[in-house]
Amino acid sequence: MLKGIGQIAINVHDLERATNFYRDVLGIRFLFSAPPKLAFFEIGGVMLMLSPADKPEFDHPSSLLYFDVDDIRAACATLKERGVEFLDEPHRVHRDGERELWMSAFRDTEGNTFVLRTWQTVP
């Protein structure tokens, strides 16, 4: 039945500011705008749609998205250089035999919280 996630909607208040953040700061591939209030991106086969909430009851930060990275420390350093403020430093949250799961959380310009994550092999 369900095969995967095709699109995720992310609430924004300032579409231009959010588009710049996702495209220029995070480096996510911008696909197109659909005036007056939509912007579409693609990452790993999943589309992200930025738009203001269409009803007051939907005007809240989005669910957490976890972005996979190869090197969490390098990714955090690059994003910090671009002005991203992290909520924590990269830290181990789980060890599973010969690998560890590391994460670090940040917020976008709209108050949505996201997490970088990586699996590292334990020497």
Identical fold, 1-54 and 63-123: yes
What is the reported pTM? 0.82
Assigned CATH for 63-123: 3.10.180.10
Ordered by start, the domain boundaries in the chain are 1-54, 63-123
pLDDT digits (tens, 9 = 90+) for 55-91: 888 888 888 889 999 999 999 999 999 999 999 999 9
Assigned CATH for 1-54: 3.10.180.10
Place of tokens 């991203």: 84
Question: 3-state DSSP call for residue 24?
Answer: helix
* Pair of tokens at residue 123: 């020497």
pLDDT digits (tens, 9 = 90+) for 93-112: 999 989 999 999 999 999 89
